[in-house]
Amino acid sequence: MDSTLENDQSWIPKVIKKKICSTFLEDTTTQSKQQLCQCGYPKTRHSQVAMEDNFGAAVVSRWNTADHTTEEPTDAFGDVAFFRKGRRQGKFVRLSSDTDPAIVYTLITHFWGIAHPNLVVSVVGGEQSLKMKTWLKDILRRGLVKAAQSTGAWIMTSGLQVGIGKYVGQAVHDHATANTRSTAKVVAMGIAPWGIVYEKERLVNPKGSFPAEYTVSSDKDEEYTLDDNYSAFLLVDDGTNKQMGGEIQFQARLEQHILTQRTGIGGRGSIEIPVLCMLIQGGPNMLERIYKATTNNIPWLILAGSGGLADILAEVMMGSFTAETLKKEVEVQIQKHFPSEDIQRLVELVERIFENKQLITVYSADLDGTEEFDTIILKALFKACKKERTTAQNYLDELKLAVAWSRVDIAKSQFFNGEIEWKSSDLEDPMTAALVNNKTEFVKLFIDNGFNMVEYLSYRRLEELYSTVASKSLLNSFLQKKKEERRSSQGGNESMLLPVNPNLSGAQQSYTLLEVLKVLKDLMGDFCEPMYGQLFKRADSHRNKPLLKPQELSYQMRKCTTPWTDLFIWAVLQSRNEMSTYFWEMGGESVSSGLVACKILREMARYQPEAEGAQLMKEMAAKFAQLSLDVFNQCYRHNEKRAFRLLVRQCPLWGSATCLQLANEADARNFLAHDGVQALLNQIWWGEMDRNTETWKLCIAFFCPLFIYSSLIKFSNSREEHMTEKNTSDLDSIDGDLLLPKSDIYHDSEADVSVSPGNMRPFWMIRWKQFWGAPVTSFFGNVIMYFAFLFLFAYVLILDLPLKNPSIAELILYFWVLTLAFEEIRQTFFVSMNISLKKKVKLYYQDMWNKCDILAILMFVAGVISRMFSSWYEMGRVILCLDFMVFCFRLVHIFAIHKQLGPKIIIVGKMIKDVFFFLFFLGVWLMAYGVATQGLLYHTESRASWIFRRVFYRPYLQIFGQIPLDELDATRFHSRCPDNLTEGSEEELSTCTNTYANWLVILLLTIFLLIANILLVNLLIAMFSYTFNKVQEKSDIYWKFQRYNLVVEYHKRPALAPPFIILSHIHIFIKRNIRKVPTVKGRLFITDLSEAVANRLMTWEAVQKENYLLSRNRIKRESNMERLKRTAQKVDSVLSYITDIRDHDRRLKVIEKQIEYCTEALQWLAESLLQSNLIGNARAPPTFTDPSSKKTTGCNDSK
């Protein structure tokens, strides 16, 4: 027995009772040998008190459960294990018919662990002799059970292997067998009388059964056996034995209680749980239950064609009857099916049920067979709530059910067809359910029908959405980690923590935007700071202080300033593909937002432990990168100049980052390889020089600067021409105004100061800055001087590195490396001025080539220090020689700008990774062969250096063909080994070669060369070929991506190259620190626009995005798949029209019968008045003449 379960349910006997008969009233109608009470139990099962009440027994002649039973603690509850059926288990309890249904509902949902239902379907009607038709079995299995699984419904029947309960159990079993991969379990619940259960004594245990062993039987005499396909059993005890009907009232009260309960997302309880009763066949005793259920507004679904009472009600509800003909038709039908019943009483019940006709839905397999069963259920619930005049509030629960069941088609046709006036406030709860449940189609539907997202999304509601993330999701683990860090940083002081959201239940996790901000910082860096960073005020700058002031978070009541962007980030963090795409379409700053999503998803993919989830995130990242690229392509095709401005505009929403920076951070290579981006890079790279300038002209101008004032190199003609170009390019803005204010036109982008129109520089200064300010000049200067540096370094190493005092060439080399070190210091600490020192260093070390520069400088310093001491001179020389190799390796980065060499460098880098994997396999086999041959040939060798050579070095050389047969083949040995290997000297034994088992050495050599030279080398070649083909396909993209980083680097560098760069450093120091002149050189890559201009640019981008979406949707509509979908929708519409035509046909038949009745009544009235002599008119009353008969008469007369 499980003691834990026993302790958890020990309260059950104290609260839940059973019923026992308290008065013995003998049943005189039975012919049993033993005396039976009218309750069904024998006299021996009654207590002495029950049999001593002779006076009461003499007065009362009929037994009833209310007066003749008493309640005692239940003695049957716990788990039931079904043997012979795979040891399945279910929950059960014996309870009184008067038990409070609220207690039972709490027992089921809280203690038995069964989830709250989204719907309760009570299947009734089948008697013991029910023979289920094949199509009815299919409806139960493919319709009801499937719908229950998809909607999270409870199915309630008797739970016994008899009647309708048996067939529902079989349907549950068949569905579970056919859907083994499904994690959602169908909850089937049995409610049966305790007195009829077979072998119920096995379930009796006053302390509870955990579990009770129950054997399932299939004998006909034992058909009231519990069905093992049910999850729970409520065995209702009304004090009777072997009598049916005792559970009906309790089940009705339980259904009524469930109707008052609410379920929803995150414990909010926003949806009332609907209850639907389904009638299959059924006898006359079901009419009373149907009538009482309809008075409680419980809808019914009648299965037409199942027989019995179901066919009678289906005929009545679907037929065309007047008030007079209805009674006659019902009498005929009841007389036909139930001739021995009280016909008058049944007719009255049917008429009363007909008054609530809107609660009855008839399902016909012939008419409704094409629809999903959950659609039928939802339509039945919608029909039950539909009235002549009503407000949108009456339809909210049904709309929420449509959201929960993902039936957007029903929502469109029933709730958003123009008949119901929805307000934005009415749709807030359904919108929350759609967002949390990832129902993108419903979000679109609500937005299209006037939902105001700006009024809906407050910061408090956004925190509620973050608090509803799945407990096992990656985002939840991130948020929980940040919450624990905040709690630990505040020393466990709960008063300093943020207040918990009151709208969430205690079991639900509660997160604030502070945790979200920290998660975004880990994923995006400082790009997310403007989103939520301004909402929180820091109490102290020290880390050991609380992050927030202990005050109410007033921001929670404020509306989100950018609701679409906030929801977009929320959806991206949860990897919701369709929803995040929709929010991206609805939001602004499309290019930058898509790149941010790409960055977030690629960072999250690194932390995702599941390979499938990581792959999904990578695919989403590629999708958003492509969306940003497509929108930018649309912008570039429309206006090239404005597209350039879009690339370098600072986005306030993303930490003032530009689209180029975001693309680089997100590793969006296709974006940076776009022609528009490359055109902007070309423009920046060449500055105001002609882009077709040959390299030799640049070299001449570099060594002889006077040539820049000649016609050797072409520059832009004048400042006025440059201004005219900008003016004409910006005139085609959206509203016809200039995109940029005139004050921004006169900035000298290549200089470090602003130039006004009235303060123009002289020609020689302008041309000088045009040449030396271009990144291409800085690049070629650095290349030329770097080759000179390497030549000087090589000269010093080979020819001019004296032992004592350094030579002049060596001192020049020292100074040159010192200027290189100064440049690295400048790049580390003085390039980005608005970030912390730690972030500057971190940003610098992210570049591999910067690490290479630091390594080369540090090795040079170590080598110089070592060579200054005579004892360490050789060590210093070795370090400097190795350092020269590192400086030479730095040339690889310079050649990355070349269109042909750049991709090849990437290929070589990826091939080096392949070599490491190859060396692992080669090393394993090489060590195995080397150790084996050393042990066979030189087992007496004791010198460590020789052992290492023969184990590793010699086998490695054998791969390249250097095979020393004189040392391996015994036939070619020239050994001086003694005859007795144990008597030789140590020197002789060390050089001795063993000839024993020499054939094995030759065999191992053959196998080693076969595997190493044939297998492994060809494997390496194949890996190289795969890498080459893979990179070669995207070589242009790789090269353009590298080119961006190189252009940015040389754009930030000073014009002069080392060692003359020291002059540029001095000039920059004087200008920034003494003259206090701010730099504007970065304006080409970062542009801060005014608010008005930025708004115009964003509006233009939004227009281009809409144009792109329209073109994409147009292409999508023309695809074959979409055409098939539209055809299917048209077919569905035709079928719905046919159904409507049938409804109209029924109505026309009703009107026709009513007209016939009125015609007969008027005819009778006319005849009566004519015969009564009340009217003194000798003319006979007019008679109706059919026009068709008139035409026929006319034809006969003509003949």
pLDDT per residue as tens digits for the range 530-577: 678 777 754 444 444 434 443 445 677 888 889 999 999 999 999 999
pLDDT value of residue 544: 40
What integer is the mean pLDDT of 837-844?
80
- Buried b or exposed e, range 120-143, using 16+ CB within 10 angstroms: bbbbbbbeeebebeeebeebbbbb
Rounded CA separation 300/294 (Å): 8
| pLDDT at res. 740 | 41
Mean pLDDT value across residues 330-349: 81
Lowest mean pLDDT among 434-438, 545-549, 1148-1152: 545-549
Q: What is the mean pLDDT of residues 354-358?
A: 82
C-beta of residue 268 within 8 angstroms of C-beta of residue 126: no
The average pLDDT across 907-926 equals 86
pLDDT digits (tens, 9 = 90+) for 945-986: 888 888 888 888 888 888 887 777 777 766 555 555 455 455
3-state DSSP percent of the chain in helix, strand and coil, to 5: 60, 10, 30
Average pLDDT over residues 699-723: 75
Evaluate if residue 267 carries a pLDDT over 60: no
Say how far residue 331 (Cα) sits from the centre of its chain: 58
The structure tokens listed for 563 are: 């609701």
pLDDT, position 1175: 63
Tell me: the pLDDT tens digits for 999-1030? 888 899 889 889 888 888 898 899 889 888 88
730: CB partners within 8 A, 6+ apart = 641, 642, 738, 739, 740
- The reported pLDDT for the residue numbered 1108 is 94
Provide the pLDDT for residue 1146: 72
Q: What is the pLDDT of residue 95?
A: 92
Q: Which of 471-480, 510-519, 718-727, 1154-1163 has the lowest mean pLDDT?
A: 718-727
Whether residue 667 is predicted with pLDDT greater than 70 in this model: the reply is yes
pLDDT at 594: 95
| Counts of helices then strands in the chain (DSSP H, E) | 53, 14
Structure tokens at 661: 């920076």
Position 1080 confidence tier, pLDDT thresholds 50, 70, 90: low
Average pLDDT, the chain: 80
Tens of pLDDT, residues 298-323: 888 888 888 888 888 888 887 766 66
Q: Is pLDDT above 80 for 722? A: no
Band the pLDDT of 1036: cuts 50, 70, 90: confident
Q: According to the model, what pLDDT value does residue 1029 have?
A: 86
Q: Tell me the per-residue pLDDT of 392-414, one tens digit each, with 9 for 90 and over.
A: 777 787 788 788 778 888 888 87
pTM: 0.76
CB 633 within 8 Å of CB 1005: no
Q: What is d(CA 975, CA 694) in angstroms, rounded to the nearest whole number?
A: 69
| Of residues 863, 888, 857, 887, the one with CA closest to residue 801 | 863
**Given this model, what pLDDT does residue 735 score?**
41
**What pLDDT, on a 0 to 100 scale, did the predictor assign at position 218?**
58
Select the more confidently predicted residue: 985 or 930.
930
pLDDT band at 642 (very low <50, low <70, confident <90, very high): very high
Q: Which one is predicted more confidently, 261 or 58?
A: 261
pLDDT surpasses 70 at 182: no
Q: What is the phi-psi region of residue 87: left when phi exceeds 0, alpha when psi lies from -120 to 50, beta otherwise? A: left
Transcribe 72-118 into DSSP letters. EE---EEEEEEETTTSEEEEEEEEETT--HHHHHHIIIIIS-PPPPS
CA distances to 642, 673, 908 from 676, rounded to whole Å, are 11, 8, 29
pLDDT digits (tens, 9 = 90+) for 1113-1139: 888 888 788 778 778 878 877 877 777
Q: What pLDDT is stored for residue 505 in this prediction?
A: 43
pLDDT-based confidence at residue 371 (cuts at 50, 70, 90)? low
Query: What does the pLDDT look like over 114-159, one tens digit per residue?
Result: 888 888 889 888 766 677 778 888 888 777 887 787 777 899 998 8
d(CA 412, CA 431): 15
Residues paired with residue 798 on neighbouring β-strands, in sequence order: none
Residue 1199 pLDDT greater than 50, yes or no: no
Confidence of residue 1187 (pLDDT cuts 50, 70, 90): low
Question: Closest Cα to residue 143, out of 374, 306, 310?
Answer: 374
Per the DSSP assignment, residues forming a β-bridge with 120 are 154, 275
Give 429 or 980, the one with higher predicted confidence: 429
Q: Cα–Cα distance between 548 and 1013 in angstroms, integer? A: 67
How far apart are the C-alpha atoms of 880 and 902, rounded to whole Å?
A: 28
Mean pLDDT, range 201-209, rounded to an integer: 85
Mean pLDDT within 831-860: 82
Interatomic CA distance for residues 290 and 300, integer angstroms: 8
Q: Which two structure tokens, joined as six digits, stand for 510?
A: 């509660």
For residue 1183, what pLDDT band results from cuts at 50, 70 and 90?
A: low
Which distant-in-sequence residues (6+ apart) come within 8 Å of 165 by Cβ? 126, 157, 158, 159, 190, 192, 227
More confident residue, 737 or 331: 331
Pick the range with the lowest mean pLDDT from 55-64, 743-752, 996-1005.
Answer: 743-752
Residue 1170 has pLDDT above 80, yes or no: no
